[in-house]
């Protein structure tokens, strides 16, 4: 596959750790929903990654897998636009993980931020395992097996994309320069025909000698348009263009998701571990109840006491959900004791319920018909496997494992 096609492909995964909540929606899913219209998207459930830390309760993972897919669909991920699949149903990831592990220096995985921290902090389970050490290599395999150019992630995952780039670079460096690479590249140039060959050489020289980025882009576009060259030749032409070897595994880019500031019910970041979440498919009465019982400005004890929205968790949620005029009404009413806290919470409850309404509706058909979810995932797995298999074949052959 070419690098230009790689740029069109987006891949991301989520560990099945429990019901998704509004923090996931605002932080991750809204972004996925936008991307699904712009790119060729692959979204998967990283059940093996969950197993690296939760190997003692695998049954929980199974339940979470299906609930998470329903949450995605409920949020508006469209299975017609994005392939949805489960990591362990595409075992090709595991083979690539193994092969990449052969060339990944131990020091690279050991120095991934958080690795040693997480082990030190996890007093309830033993994470000094081989599997957990391999977490970033498995993630690299997830990405590289689709030759995905773009990986939407939050800041915490950027080091994982970074190590993926390093592993890809090392792989291409070691295995992309099969003997006779230059001769083969020269032959591939000729196969493009006289005119294109001349242009290719010209663009290549302009890029190699003057670093002319535009020439590089033009040459790439030209290779892209070639109809009659093999996949191998295409990779060679791309690699040779930049003075490197064959690009077998293109380096991905992190599409950094804007840091989400979704506040939870207590004003801290919304997170399952703080027990302050509103799940995506929460029952409406439960949502209203949770908001009604939220703590407010602790100084505002009586209805007649003026309050300070600046220290109130309810106001933080208003800032996500309400328009300017409502925010003005809250500020004015709160600081003058003109409104009570329940008055203040009512429009917020309405907005949250309004946001969830279409999610609940979409979810219903999937909750009532689990087979529908399974068939969507089966289709996504099929699509994923076709690509994964093709990449793996290239990888095996580059590593000299294509004997019969």
Interface residues toward ligand TRP, by CB under 6 A: 11-15, 46, 49, 139, 142-143, 151, 153, 157
DSSP tag of 105: -
H or E stretch at 36:
helix 30-38
Report if residue 252 touches ligand SF4, rule: CB under 6 A: no
Report if residue 135 touches ligand SF4, rule: CB under 6 A: no
Report if residue 235 touches ligand SF4, rule: CB under 6 A: no
Nearer to ligand SF4 among residue 132 and residue 315 (C-beta): 315
Residues contacting 249, CB < 8 A, separation 6+: 144, 147, 167, 168, 171, 172, 391, 395
Contact indicator for 69, 45 with CB cutoff of 8 Å: yes
Q: In angstroms, what is the minimal distance from the CB of 320 to ligand SF4?
A: 14
H or E stretch at 10:
strand 9-14
User: Residue 69, by phi and psi: left (phi above 0), alpha (psi -120 to 50) or beta?
Assistant: alpha
Report if residue 262 touches ligand SF4, rule: CB under 6 A: no
Q: Whole-angstrom Cα distance, residue 237 to residue 223?
A: 7
Q: In angstroms, what is the minimal distance from the CB of 21 to ligand SF4?
A: 21
Residue with tokens 């990831």: 93
Binding mask 305-344 for ligand SF4 (x = CB under 6 A): --x-x--x-xx--------------x---x----x-x--x
Kindly state the tokens that stand for 189.
């140039």
Nearest to ligand TRP by Cβ — which residue? Answer: 13
Q: Whole-angstrom Cα distance, residue 93 to residue 228?
A: 30
Backbone angles phi and psi of 45, in degrees to 5 = -90, 115
Nearer to ligand TRP among residue 113 and residue 298 (C-beta): 113
Q: In angstroms, what is the minimal distance from the CB of 28 to ligand TRP?
A: 9
- Report the partner that residue 27 touches, choosing among ligand TRP, ligand SF4, none (CB closer than 5 to 8 A by kind): none
Q: Whole-angstrom Cα distance, residue 174 to residue 365?
A: 50
Q: In angstroms, what is the minimal distance from the CB of 94 to ligand TRP?
A: 13
Nearer to ligand TRP among residue 13 and residue 313 (C-beta): 13
Size of the site for ligand SF4 (CB under 6 A): 13
Nearer to ligand TRP among residue 112 and residue 348 (C-beta): 112
- Report the partner that residue 315 touches, choosing among ligand SF4, ligand TRP, none (CB closer than 5 to 8 A by kind): ligand SF4
Q: Whole-angstrom Cα distance, residue 323 to residue 242?
A: 51
Handedness of CA 353, 314, 292, 329 (dihedral sign): negative
Kindly state the tokens that stand for 357.
């309404």
DSSP tag of 104: S
Nearer to ligand SF4 among residue 67 and residue 296 (C-beta): 296
Binding mask 263-302 for ligand SF4 (x = CB under 6 A): ---------------------------------xx--x--
- The site for ligand SF4 (CB under 6 A) is made up of 296-297, 300, 307, 309, 312, 314-315, 330, 334, 339, 341, 344
């Amino acid at each position: 596959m070419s690098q230009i096609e790689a740029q069109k492909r987006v891949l991301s995964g989520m560990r099945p750790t429990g019901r998704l909540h509004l923090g996931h929606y605002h932080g991750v899913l809204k972004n996925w929903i936008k991307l699904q219209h712009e790119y060729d998207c692959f979204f998967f459930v990283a059940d093996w990654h969950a197993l690296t830390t939760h190997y003692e309760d695998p049954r929980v993972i199974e339940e979470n897998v299906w609930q998470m897919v329903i949450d995605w669909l409920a949020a508006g991920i469209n299975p017609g636009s994005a392939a949805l699949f489960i990591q362990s149903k595409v075992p090709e990831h595991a083979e690539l993980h193994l092969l990449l592990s052969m060339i990944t220096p131990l020091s690279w995985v050991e120095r991934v931020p958080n690795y040693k921290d997480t082990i030190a902090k996890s007093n309830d389970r033993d994470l000094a395992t081989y599997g957990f050490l391999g977490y970033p290599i498995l993630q690299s395999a997830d990405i590289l097996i689709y030759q995905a150019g773009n990986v939407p992630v939050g800041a915490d995952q950027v080091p994982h994309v970074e190590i993926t780039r390093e592993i890809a670079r090392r792989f291409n460096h070691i295995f992309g320069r099969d003997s006779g690479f230059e001769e083969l590249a020269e032959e591939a140039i000729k196969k493009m025909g006289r005119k294109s060959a001349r242009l290719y050489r010209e663009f290549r020289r302009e890029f190699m000698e003057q670093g002319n980025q535009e020439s590089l882009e033009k040459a790439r576009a030209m290779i892209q348009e070639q109809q009659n060259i093999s996949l191998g030749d295409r990779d060679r032409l791309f690699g040779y263009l930049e003075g490197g070897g064959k690009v077998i595994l293109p380096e991905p880019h992190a599409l950094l998701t804007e840091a989400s500031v979704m506040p939870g019910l207590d004003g801290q970041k919304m997170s399952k571990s703080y027990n302050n979440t509103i799940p995506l498919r929460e029952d409406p009465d439960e949502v209203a109840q949770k908001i009604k019982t939220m703590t407010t400005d602790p100084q505002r004890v009586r209805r007649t006491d003026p309050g300070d929205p600046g220290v109130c968790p309810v106001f933080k949620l208003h800032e996500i959900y309400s328009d300017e005029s409502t925010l003005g009404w809250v500020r004015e009413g709160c600081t003058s004791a003109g409104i009570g806290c329940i008055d203040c919470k009512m429009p917020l409850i309405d907005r949250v319920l309004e946001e969830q309404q279409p999610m609940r509706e979409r979810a219903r058909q999937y909750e009532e018909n689990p087979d529908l979810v399974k068939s969507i995932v089966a289709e996504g797995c099929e699509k994923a496997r076709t690509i994964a298999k093709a990449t793996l074949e290239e990888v095996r052959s580059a590593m000299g494992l294509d004997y019969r």
